[in-house]
């Protein structure tokens, strides 16, 4: 997963131009992107100067991630307005599929009504039904993105229990173009699980909505890129696992180089 993200970032016009410099003092607004390139081994930072290493970039990269960097992240960091297409933002969620499958197959228990509080950026959806037997309500304010997800779901087989496809919805999936917690509670009642992935949200309110609140924080380069996309879309910076535990309590149920998962009851 991390290598796919690296390939995508390096396929961007931003990275291609940056790597042409033997040494550069970057615009301070782009510091976070140069820091990512340095952590990937393409620059060494000396003071406020980034010095190019001998590491060669790949010939090709993931075009979706490259376009996210060029059309969303860079303009946002430079203070320019962005108008990314819903299709591009929806495509970005595909990068998190490995995390979604791991969560559904290895970490979450089976069954129950689950609220996905924020479809973006991680795109939790049909994997939770097929792999964890979850009935789902997927809520987000980005209706155009949810419309694309709804169309995608319409092409998948629906079955009472997963048999062959790990992407097939198990029972019930509803998509709500709203993150108004009171509205969702009035319509659906309480949930067995509320799932939040790499998104800033009112966790105290969510605790009144479900028996368990699970927060997923994406680590590594993908997490850094996801944070930049969150901020560009006006969602704010996602909290760390530590800050969520300080806010609402809970315990870490999984932590590795890819993700940190907290359960709060």
Predicted confidence at residue 231, as pLDDT, reads 97
Six token digits for residue 87? 């299709």
Evaluate if residue 14 carries a pLDDT over 50: yes
Q: Residue 172 is part of a domain; what is its CATH number?
A: 3.40.50.150
Provide the residue range defining the domain that includes 170: 89-264
Predicted confidence at residue 165, as pLDDT, reads 45
- Shared domain check, 46 and 157: no
Predicted confidence at residue 262, as pLDDT, reads 96
Q: What is the pLDDT of residues 127-173, one digit of tens each?
A: 998 888 899 999 999 999 999 999 999 887 655 544 444 444 446 88
- Shared domain check, 73 and 125: no
- Picking from 262, 238, 245, 225, the residue whose alpha carbon sits closest to that of residue 37 is 225
Predicted confidence at residue 3, as pLDDT, reads 80
- Shared domain check, 74 and 106: no
3-state SS string over the chain? CHHHHHHHHHCCHHHHHHCCCCEECCCHHHHHHHHHHHHCCCEEEECCEEEECCCCCCCCCCHHHHHHHHHHHHHHHCCCCCCCCHHHHHHHHHHHHHHHHHHHHHHCCCCCEEEEECCCCCCCCHHHHHHHCCEEEEECCCHHHHHHHHHHHHCCCCCCCCCCCCCCCCCCEEEECCCCHHHHHHHHCCEEEEEEECCCCCHHHHHCCEEEEEEEEECHHHHHHHHHHHHHCCCCCCCCHHHHHHHHCCEEEEECCCEEEEEEC
User: What average pLDDT score do residues 25-32 get?
Assistant: 96
- Shared domain check, 190 and 152: yes
- The rounded distance, in Å, linking the Cα atoms of 166 and 176 is 23
How many structural domains does the chain have? 2
Q: What is the pLDDT of residues 173-200, one digit of tens each?
A: 899 999 999 999 999 999 999 999 999 9
- Shared domain check, 233 and 194: yes
Q: What is the pLDDT of residues 58-108, one digit of tens each?
A: 877 789 999 999 999 999 999 999 989 999 999 999 999 999 999 999 999
* Band of residue 29 on the pLDDT scale cut at 50, 70, 90: very high
Predicted confidence at residue 1, as pLDDT, reads 59
Whether the Cβ atoms of residue 167 and residue 123 lie closer than 8 Å to each other: no
- Shared domain check, 117 and 9: no
Predicted confidence at residue 114, as pLDDT, reads 95
Predicted confidence at residue 63, as pLDDT, reads 93
Q: How many CB atoms lie within 10 A of CB 234?
A: 9
Domain boundary among 83, 110, 134: 83
Q: What is the pLDDT of residues 30-47, one digit of tens each?
A: 999 999 999 999 999 999
Predicted confidence at residue 159, as pLDDT, reads 54
- The rounded distance, in Å, linking the Cα atoms of 2 and 95 is 10
Evaluate if residue 13 carries a pLDDT over 70: yes
Predicted confidence at residue 158, as pLDDT, reads 59
- Picking from 264, 265, 242, the residue whose alpha carbon sits closest to that of residue 255 is 242
Share of the chain above pLDDT 90, in %: 82
User: What average pLDDT score do residues 251-263 get?
Assistant: 95
Predicted confidence at residue 2, as pLDDT, reads 73
Q: Specify the pairing of strand 173-176 against strand 135-139.
A: parallel
- Picking from 86, 203, 98, the residue whose alpha carbon sits closest to that of residue 146 is 86
- Shared domain check, 137 and 121: yes
- Shared domain check, 120 and 200: yes
Six token digits for residue 221? 């380069």
- Picking from 232, 229, 4, 241, the residue whose alpha carbon sits closest to that of residue 123 is 229
- Shared domain check, 252 and 159: yes
- Shared domain check, 165 and 43: no
Terminal C-alpha separation, the chain: 30
Q: pTM here? A: 0.91
- Shared domain check, 97 and 23: no
- Shared domain check, 256 and 134: yes
Domain boundary among 36, 62, 83: 83
**Dihedral angle of Cα 24, 26, 31, 33, to the nearest 10 degrees:** -70
Domain boundary among 64, 83, 102: 83
- φ, ψ (nearest 5 deg) of residue 104: -70, -40
């Amino acid at each position: 997963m991390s290598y796919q993200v690296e390939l995508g970032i390096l396929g961007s016009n931003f990275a291609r131009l940056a790597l042409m410099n033997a040494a550069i003092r970057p615009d301070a607004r782009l510091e976070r992107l140069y820091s990512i390139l340095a952590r990937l081994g393409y620059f060494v930072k000396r003071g406020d100067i980034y010095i190019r290493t001998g590491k060669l970039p790949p010939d090709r990269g993931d075009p979706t991630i490259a376009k996210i960097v060029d059309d969303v992240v860079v303009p946002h960091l430079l203070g320019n307005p962005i108008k990314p297409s819903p299709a591009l933002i929806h495509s970005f969620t595909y990068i998190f599929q490995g995390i979604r499958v791991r969560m559904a197959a290895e970490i979450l228990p089976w069954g129950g009504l689950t609220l996905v509080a924020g479809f973006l950026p991680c795109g939790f959806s049909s994997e939770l039904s097929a792999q964890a037997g979850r009935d789902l309500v997927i809520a987000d304010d980005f209706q155009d993105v949810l419309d694309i997800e709804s169309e995608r779901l319409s092409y998948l087989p629906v079955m009472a229990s997963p048999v062959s496809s790990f992407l097939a919805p198990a029972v019930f999936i509803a998509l709500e173009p709203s993150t108004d917690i009171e509205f969702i509670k009035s319509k659906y009642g309480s949930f067995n699980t509320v799932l939040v992935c790499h998104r800033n949200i009112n966790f105290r309110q969510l605790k009144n909505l479900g028996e368990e609140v699970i927060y997923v924080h994406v680590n590594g380069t993908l997490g850094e890129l996801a944070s930049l996309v969150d901020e560009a879309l006006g969602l704010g910076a996602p909290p760390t696992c530590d800050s969520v535990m300080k806010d609402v309590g809970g315990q870490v149920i999984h932590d590795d180089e890819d993700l940190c998962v907290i359960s709060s009851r």
